Amino acid sequence: MFNGQSSSGVDFFNLLMGNEDFNIEMGKLTLAAGRLEAELIHFYKRKGVDENLSRFTLGKLIQYGKNNKLLERNLASALESTCKQRNYITHNIYALFTELLDETMLPKKDLIDTDVLTYTDYAWVTRNNLIDLADLISKY
């Protein structure tokens, strides 16, 4: 499948799009993010919040919790960090490879086809961070 070929830009993005393992991880990551959003809403309801938060994004839910002093500082920090990871891989990958963004969390220069595995691992780690936070929040 991989042969160590150099790849960059949109060509590398297309490798990601065509890689089944990467796409499976991205699907699982998306489901895990949705679960974390729901767990945050349940947590806020347990804290007495009666607002309809169902349309809030993960970032807005975290900000709501911080603004209303519903989240401990360390938990808020972990949520923000994981939200940034999730946003980066779900919203910025194409922009990264079309020179709209600088290289920050993931490499975009000097890539070879096996770097698809790096991106897949990043998605796996992010998914697990989301799951761990959802598990934690569900117990509060």
Q: What is the per-residue pLDDT across 11-45, written as a single tens digit (0 to 9) for each?
A: 999 999 999 999 999 999 999 999 999 999 999 99
Residue 85's closest CA among 105, 62, 113?
A: 105
User: What CA–CA distance (Å, rounded) separates 19 from 87?
Assistant: 20
Q: What tokens were used for 39?
A: 């767990």
Q: How many CB atoms lie within 10 A of CB 95?
A: 11
**3-state class of 124 per DSSP?**
helix
Q: What is the per-residue pLDDT across 74-132, written as a single tens digit (0 to 9) for each?
A: 999 999 999 999 999 999 999 999 999 888 999 999 999 999 999 999 999 999 999 99
Task: Return the domain boundaries, the chain.
Answer: 6-138
Q: For the whole prediction, is pTM greater than 0.85?
A: yes
